[in-house]
Amino acid sequence: MSLEQPTALILLNMGGPDSLETIEPFLYNLFSDRELIQLPMGALLQKPFAKLISHFRSKKVRESYKYIGGRSPLLAWTRKQAVGIAERLGGHIQPFVLMRYWQPRAAEVMTQLKKAGIRQAIVLSMYPHYTGATTGSSINDFEQHAEKLYPELSYQVIDQWYDWPGYVTALASRVEEGLDNFHELMRDDVRILFSAHALPQKFIDRGDPYQQQVETTARLVMERVGNYRWSIAYQSRSGPVKWMTPGTDLELIRLGAEDVKSLLMVPISFVSDHIETLEEIDLQYRMLAEQHGIAHFFRAPSLNDHPDFLEGMAGLVRERCQI
């Protein structure tokens, strides 16, 4: 790939509602994606089921978004990440963001690229750990729209980076920052709980490497952090399907039963703050931990636009794209 001509850096992410009024259509887009959620009775009824589920679920989700200010911060953080990575790459790199389930979506981004006369792109998934449910769906969405709307676009895809040293080092630094919240006299007794987004177990059973990659990332981080007891759990489990285990809620209860008093939670499959960190961890899991005797509960800061993370991601692009 030659950087003598304008090059787009396109970050792929899930997206989130930008107002309380857009929660329901966002959920409809999400539940309509059979690569992510296969609702019963086949593809023909996927969208009617999605319409029904998104309507009723939006009422509950609305309260969660009210708690964090009425909108998802995911787009703002992803834009900052795109700009920060592009600046570190220099040259003719121009940042773009493409969201899977809310704006800006693939058709809009293709129009922007054509209008700007950009004919080559680096496509970077912001999911560190690969599963067809998230990474695969986002890449398929990009490729289908590129083929249909902008077949002249030449691009290279970076689809997973769970063991990239720049990412692991940045995450380890956030863990160390989180540990600084504990008094030095209790720091040796702090338990660390990595919390990744859960998937239905069927994705793991079919061969997706997601769980293995999450475990590898956690191990590599702890090799840098030092001698603490730690475990992994999976959050955001909902609906009547078999999910990956252990669930984060059940792991918190288990740790409380072990008389753990000091706990640092580390969001591992999220590279920026959004509803799962700001409301699910910071509110729901904090309350659950306190109810089960975990008196000192903190969350490690998210990666967001920390300079070490952005530099690490720029290094990833340089190596994978040989620029």
CATH code, domain carrying 232: 3.40.50.1400
Res 15: pLDDT: 97
Of the listed 24, 141, 208, 273, which one is catalytic? 273
User: How many alpha carbons lie under 13 Å from residue 216 in its C-beta half-sphere?
Assistant: 15
Query: Can 279 be counted among the known catalytic residues?
Result: no
- Digit-coded pLDDT (tens) for 167-178: 999 999 999 999
Of 67, 94, 129, the residue that ends a domain is 67
What is the distance between the alpha carbons of residues 14 and 137, in angstroms, rounded to a whole number? 10
Catalytic residue among 141, 208, 276, 282: 276
User: Does some domain include residue 135?
Assistant: no
Is 129 annotated as catalytic?
no
| pLDDT exceeds cutoff 80 at 183 | yes
Please indicate, yes or no, if residue 154 is contained in any of the structural domains: no
Between 48 and 312, residue with greater pLDDT: 312
> Is residue 114 assigned to a domain?
no
Number of domains the chain contains: 2
In a domain, 320, yes or no: no
Is position 279 within any domain?
Answer: yes
* Least confident among 25-34, 74-83, 144-153, 203-212: 25-34
Residue 57 has pLDDT above 80, yes or no: yes
Residue at which a domain ends, from 34, 67, 100 = 67
Q: Tally the residues of the chain.
A: 323
Question: For all residues of the chain together, what is the average pLDDT?
Answer: 95
Model pTM score: 0.96
Active site residue 52: no
The reply to whether 308 falls in a domain is no
H or E element: which one contains 12? strand 7-13
Residue 249's domain comprises 165-299
- Report yes or no on 55 lying in a domain: yes
Annotation says 67 is catalytic? no
Helix 46-67 × helix 23-31 angle, to 10°? 140
Residue 14 inside a domain? The answer is no
